[in-house]
Structure formats: structure tokens, C-alpha cells
Amino acid sequence: MRAAVVVFPGSNCDRDLAMAFRHAGCDVTMVWHKDTDLPTGTDLVGLPGGFSFGDYLRCGAIAANSPICRAVRGHGERGGYVLGVCNGFQVLTETGLLPGALLRNAGLKYICRTVPLSVATSDSIYTHGYTAGDSIRLPIAHHDGNYTATAEELAALKAEDRIAFTYPVNPNGSDGDIAGILSANRRVLGMMPHPERAAEPDHGNTDGARLFAHLAGALAQA
Amino acid sequence: MKAHVHVMLKDGVLDPQGEAVRHALGGLGFDGVQGVRQGKVIELDLAEGTTEATVRDMCERLLANTVIESYRIEMA
């Protein structure tokens, strides 16, 4: 199973994400933002955390219009799997692969700490290793994680069981306490918390490891 | 020729930065500031003959995120 991790200028979680994919058994290729194509046979694209293009204009806006993101959008529109973490989630909303947008945290502060999360659905390749209602802990590290969407979009996310993770104690003011959402075909996941920073015993927390293990396992069988 | 693009958060979208500025103005003794909205101005230096429609296309595709922002174009 082949994963590609996109590297933008200012990405800083790209190697962490690649390591988590690799440890789960994926064959990982790093892809530069100026590349125009994904490697042949890419099953899964990882959009990493960081501060792509210095967060200039809006978080993720310049990255979403980079050459590789045209290929990523095509991959997503063809039904390919895409996981966007933190800045990667911001890029996914800017590309239109996921609805809504991420605003400045309601408290205006950059927040870097491990927070409790509720798994809101197990109905996706990413969350299948959890049970809906599971309580886990993952690190967050963001200034713009305040998810917002129109009332219609929020209703659709809820009705279609596309909210993947929520915050029991909302740190950033996000609508519906949302921490992560799925696309309509459930193959694109955007989330602000960092599962790749809680994926090995040495991290002191392995709550994120199940996401990668089940993702890689399911894709290997596909 | 130049164009100025004013990008603002849409009405109804919470603007925590504007709120913080409003509080700070209150702290300085400026009473009666009932609301502050903070946006940005983007100045474009354009080739002669660039149309407003082209600038609108720039706004739609990059300069504004129309999910949360509105924009206004001034051609100078």
C-alpha cells in the first residue's frame, strides 16, 4: 500500500506523518509541492501539519493552489484517500475537498497541549479501529483550528455521520465541538489533532496508532 | 493601474481579533465602540487594461475564501 506525503515550504510534521505511515506498513514517498503528479499507484495522500507558506494570506490558501494540490484534488475527486492533519485540514478546506473553513481560535491564542477527544464515528477507514464514543487523547498545536461551516453544511455533516472527532471540552470555539470531519464518500479525513504525535510508546501516548494501523491494514486488503 | 481588494469576514462569522481590538479600545477609555471588524486590504499593481472581472476571478480563486469572507474591489 502506497502513501505519498506532501511537503510544502513550512511543513513541519511531514516526517512525523511519514514515520507513522511507515510504521503501519505503508510504502511512503515524499512529494514536493512543485511536483505536478502523485507517484503512480498512490493509495493515500498525507497532507501534514505545519505552516505552509508561512500561513500567508490564509492558512493553507497558497498550498491549496500549489501544483501538487491540483493532483491531490484529482486524487480525492477520483475517490482516493487523503488524510490532512492540522495545516493539512486547512489545506483540504481550501481545496474544497472538505466543506467549511478554519478560523482563528476563539481565544486568539496558539494552543499546544494534549486534549481529550471523542471518536464520533467508527464508520471510516481511519476510525474503524475505534468505537464510536471512545475517549482518546491527542495533541493539538494550532492557532487557527476554529472550524466553521454553514448551518446546512453542519446539519449535513451530522446527518451523514461525517463528524469523525469532537472535543469534549472545546479548546478553540469550533462549531459543534468539531475536531475532524470526513468527506461525503468518507475517504477524505481532515482533523486538527495530531495522531502522528501519539503513535509510538516513545511519544508517551499511542492513542493515534490505531488510526494508522487500521488505515494501513484496510488499504492493504483493498 | 492599481486595484484595491478589501477582504472582510462575512457578517455573522465571529471575528475574535476584532473583538480583542474592541476590548483594547475600551481599556483605553474609548467608550461607545460597539463593534470592530478586522479585515485586510490587498493592493494589486496590474497591467493596463486588466478588467475588474479578472480581479474578481482572483478573489474567487485565491484572495478571499468565500466560505467565510466577503470582498470588495476598487479599481483605481
Domain interval for residue B65:
2-75
Q: What is the pLDDT of residue A99?
A: 98
How high is the pLDDT of residue A51?
97
As for the ipTM of the complex, it is 0.86
What's the confidence (pLDDT) of residue B40? 96
**C-beta separation of A58 from B71 below 8 A:** no
Q: Are A193 and A115 in contact (CB under 8 A)?
A: yes
- Asked if pLDDT for residue A41 goes beyond 80, the answer is yes
Please state which CATH number belongs to domain A2-221. Answer: 3.40.50.880
**What would the mean pLDDT of A89-113 be, rounded to a whole number?**
96
Q: pLDDT (tens digit, 9 = 90+) per residue, B25-53? A: 999 999 999 999 999 999 999 999 999 99
The Cβ of residue B43 has, within 10 Å, a number of other Cβ atoms equal to 10
Q: Does A174 touch chain B (CB under 8 A)?
A: no
Cβ neighbours of A173 in B, within 8 Å: 14, 16
User: Which 3 state secondary structure label does DSSP give B3?
Assistant: strand
C-alpha cell at A200: 509510538
With a cut of 90, say whether residue A221 has pLDDT above it.
Answer: no
Per DSSP, what are the bridge partners of residue B45? Answer: B2
Mean pLDDT of B3-11: 96
Q: Which residue among the candidates A75, A142, A194, A214 is catalytic per the annotation?
A: A194
Report the pLDDT value the prediction gives residue A92, as an integer from 0 to 100.
98
Nearest-10 Cα torsion for B54, B59, B60, B65: 170
Asked if the C-beta of A143 comes within 8 angstroms of chain B's C-beta atoms, the answer is no
**A residues 48-87 lying closer than 8 A (beta carbon) to B:** 57-58, 61, 65
Query: In degrees rounded to 5, what are phi and psi of residue A221?
Result: -80, -20
Distance separating alpha carbons of residues A98 and A104, to the nearest angstrom: 18
Whether the predicted pLDDT of A166 surpasses 80: yes
Mean pLDDT of chain B: 95
- CATH assignment at residue B40: 3.30.1280.10
In a mutagenesis test of the A interface, which of B8, B65, B66, B69 is the best target, namely the one with the most A β-carbons within 10 Å?
B65
Average model confidence (pLDDT) for chain A? 97
Q: Contact A101/B65, CB-based, under 8 Å?
A: yes
| Structural domain count, chain B | 1
The whole-number pLDDT of residue A49 equals 98
So where are chain A's domains?
A: 2-221
Whether residue B16 is predicted with pLDDT greater than 90 in this model: the reply is no
Provide mean pLDDT across the span B11-15: 87
Say what the pTM is: 0.94
- Single-letter amino acid code for the residue at A99: P
Asked whether the beta carbons of residue A93 and residue B67 sit closer than 8 angstroms, the reply is yes
Q: Tell whether the model's pLDDT for residue B14 goes beyond 90.
A: no
CA distance A168 to A180: 13
How confident is the model at residue A71, as a pLDDT? 98
